[in-house]
Amino acid sequence: MVNSEVSNGSDLTGITAHEAQEFLTSGKVSSVELTEAVLARVDELEPQIHSYITVTREEALTAARTADEARDAGKAEGPLAGIPVMVKDNLSTEGVATTAGSKILLGYTPPYDAHVVSQLRSGGAVIIGKGNLDEFAMGSSTEHSAFGATRNPWDTDRVPGGSSGGPAASVAASECFISLGSDTGGSIRQPAALCGIVGMKPTYGLVSRYGLIAFGSSLDQIGPFSRDVRDTADTLSVISGHDRRDSTSINAPGQDFARALTGDITGMRLGIPSEYLVDGMEPGVKAAFEKSLETLEAMGATLEEVSLPLTDQALAVYYIIAPSEASANLARFDGFKYGTAVNDVPTAWDVMDQTREQGFGSEVKRRILIGAYALSAGYYDAYYKKAQQVRTLIIREFAQTFDKFDALVTPTSPTVAFKAGERMDDPVAMYLSDVCTIPVNIAGLPAISVPGGMSEGLPVGLQFIGPQMGDGTVLKIAHAYEQATEWHRLKPTL
Amino acid sequence: MAGLWNGFILADELTTPDLTADDVRHIAALTRLGLSDDELETMRGQLSSILKVFESLQQIDTEGVEPTGHTTEIRTVLREDKAAESLQRDGILKNAPESEAGYVKVRPILG
């Protein structure tokens, strides 16, 4: 069944974080009350949605009480103070189980917080729990979680997208105000599009990856989900900034991204890459996209079609580089250091073979094997090195394009949310869900997906891609577009 | 879904041969990944079709192009060699399936 209705905004859990912050500041509501309301919503909806792997009820209420005390003492500062948030379960949380959606990490409790989790905590945010994901963030539907699939709040017969399906569905269903996901090839933007919310992948290196369970280290980036662009900008301000524990962290001063949100995009030059309008794009998605272009033009932006001929190669580059890096990153799961292990076998080699056979799901195995093959003797030059060279060419192609344009505008996904089970047994079809998002990770660029229309009662996402460190630019354009439209106000009926 | 791939596979003729069961067994051994016979056969088919998708890359001229490892222009990062507090040993060891006397316990791997 398809659910769709314009929210009347009266429900406390359905407002934005900055609206909730106003309530907290004016004393209309306390963080404990806000947290209790969200926990009640979680209890009510989780049987249908399953966006959480772990709900940290007691820890959340303690954090909420601390936030209220800080506010009473005049010490509550920042946009997330007292706000209930969720983090994807591949982000390490000290003392709270972290599974990455995999059986192999059952029983693992990190002895430290990921950098972004520390940033949330020191910003006074209330962490409600850990979000469901495709195992080790490998997938586009959140059906590949060892802890069961997440469903789309707009239609529970459909997937929420992935791999950050839990964090996306949770924000869409008002089971938290803000969440953090990770995006290696579209894992924030595609589920944001399919769930009708805002999701952003920042410039590679803007947000520290310390404590993120690595998938493809040169592609992974952490970013926010929220119900409007302002909340995403505020959250990015909290989680970004230099961290010496991540050697790829960009050493630049912190920024207040909300300052970029002027609402005015007059004279901005937007490119429309023709290669992103792939054959097989659903007509409803294409129609919504064309309508969005008219809106942007009416707002004073200059639109022009542009060609990025290497787009077709980006998917192949990605499906060599990401699995290659994954095969190396996932070598650490050997049954000795953490998680579950098969120990009733004769030798150390058997422990490894059996632990990995039983602990990893089929998508993870597939990617480890393809990556190891691409890196193996005799194939390295033809696959891995070739992919890295084409990656250089893709980066150059984008750089040349940004000489002429402030940002690019594309659909986020060629389809709306698909039916659960539909693409499970066809990895190649599943990989295609990310065709509009993958090139961005190859080049390390910032990109954001915002609600950009509806098709057959389901949300359609609109993506803005910026040049490296153009995070403020994409936020500014996305915010202006959002304020000129009503799509972000639509909410699923649950 | 096939239509979606039309713009993607550029090669006129797909020439990459299918992987053999021995190929898959070899990679599985390299990655210490046990596979059942059924799994091996499924993977063989799926990996073969994924490798065919990679063929289009061979048509791109990359003569003299430097490979990109990651996208930030950061070189080796240096910092002062100064002792600081590290993670607590107990928090780490309690995650190990087997530990003894402050060490992670591993089966003998030599001899």
ipTM of the modeled complex: 0.88
Model pTM score: 0.95
Contact A64, A35 (CB under 8 A): yes
User: Whole-number mean pLDDT of chain A?
Assistant: 95
Average pLDDT over residues A52-63: 98
Residue A28 has pLDDT above 50, yes or no: yes
| Fold designation for B1-62 | Histone, subunit A (1.10.20)
pLDDT for res A430: 65
Nearest CA in chain B to A325: B69
- Got the DSSP string for A391-428? HHHHHHHHHHHHHH-SEEEEES-SSSPPBTTTTTT-HH
The alpha-carbon gap from B13 to the nearest alpha carbon of chain A, in Å, equals 17
pLDDT for res B7: 37
Residue A415 has pLDDT above 90, yes or no: yes
Of A47-51, A180-184, B35-39, the one with minimum mean pLDDT is B35-39
Residue A10 has pLDDT above 50, yes or no: no
Residue A95 has pLDDT above 60, yes or no: yes
Q: Which residues of A touch B104 (CB under 8 A)?
A: 336-337
Q: Which residues of B touch A334 (CB under 8 A)?
A: 32
Interchain proximity B108–A366, CB inside 8 Å: no
Q: How confident is the model at residue B111 (pLDDT cuts 50, 70, 90)?
A: low
Residue A46 has pLDDT above 50, yes or no: yes
Per-residue DSSP letter, A145: -
Interchain proximity B96–A340, CB inside 8 Å: no
pLDDT for res B9: 42
Q: How confident is the model at residue B49 (pLDDT cuts 50, 70, 90)?
A: confident
pLDDT for res A314: 94
- Got the DSSP string for A337-356? SSS----SSSSHHHHHHHHH
pLDDT in tens, A287-300: 999 999 999 999 99
pLDDT in tens, A370-410: 999 999 988 999 999 999 999 999 999 999 999 999 999 99
Contact A231, A180 (CB under 8 A): no
Q: CA dist A397 to A218, A255, A400, A401, A453, Å?
A: 19, 28, 5, 6, 29
- Got the DSSP string for B32-91? T----HHHHHHHHHHHHHHHHHGGGGGGS--TTPPPPS-SS----------------HHH
Q: Per the CATH hierarchy, to which homologous superfamily does domain A5-268+483-491 belong?
A: Amidase signature (AS) domain (3.90.1300.10)
Average pLDDT over residues A225-254: 95
pLDDT in tens, A158-179: 999 999 999 999 999 999 999 9
pLDDT for res A280: 81
pLDDT for res A422: 86
The alpha-carbon gap from B81 to the nearest alpha carbon of chain A, in Å, equals 13
φ and ψ at residue A49, rounded to 5 degrees: -95, -40
Interchain proximity B70–A218, CB inside 8 Å: yes
Q: How confident is the model at residue B8 (pLDDT cuts 50, 70, 90)?
A: very low
- Higher-pLDDT residue of B73 and A357 is A357
Q: Which residues of A touch B23 (CB under 8 A)?
A: 373
Q: How confident is the model at residue A55 (pLDDT cuts 50, 70, 90)?
A: very high
pLDDT for res B14: 58
Q: How confident is the model at residue A464 (pLDDT cuts 50, 70, 90)?
A: very high
Average pLDDT over residues A24-43: 97
Q: What are the catalytic residues of A?
A: 88, 163, 187
Residue B100 CB-density burial (10 A; 0-12 exposed, 13-18 middle, 19+ buried): exposed
Nearest CA in chain B to A383: B54
Would you tell me the crossing angle of helices A362-375 and A311-329 to the nearest 10 degrees?
A: 100
Find where tokens 């910092």 sit.
Answer: B79
The alpha-carbon gap from B102 to the nearest alpha carbon of chain A, in Å, equals 13
Nearest to B68 among A341, A343, A388 (CB): A388
Q: Does A366 touch chain B (CB under 8 A)?
A: yes
pLDDT in tens, A324-377: 999 999 999 999 999 999 999 999 999 999 999 999 999 999 999 999 999 998
| Rg, C-alpha atoms of chain A | 21
Average pLDDT over residues A299-307: 98
Average pLDDT over residues A139-162: 97
Q: Does A372 touch chain B (CB under 8 A)?
A: yes
Q: Which residues of B touch A426 (CB under 8 A)?
A: 1
Interchain proximity A388–B4, CB inside 8 Å: no
Domain residue extents for chain A:
5-268+483-491
Interchain proximity A432–B1, CB inside 8 Å: yes
Nearest to B97 among A248, A316, A343 (CB): A343
Residue A451 has pLDDT above 50, yes or no: yes
Average pLDDT over residues A62-73: 97
Please tell me the distance from the alpha carbon of residue A33 to that of residue A39, in angstroms, as a whole number: 10
Q: Classify each residue of A334-367 as buried b or exposed e, where b means 16 or more C-beta atoms within 10 Å of its C-beta.
A: bbbbbbbbbeebeebebbbbbbbbebbbbbbbbb
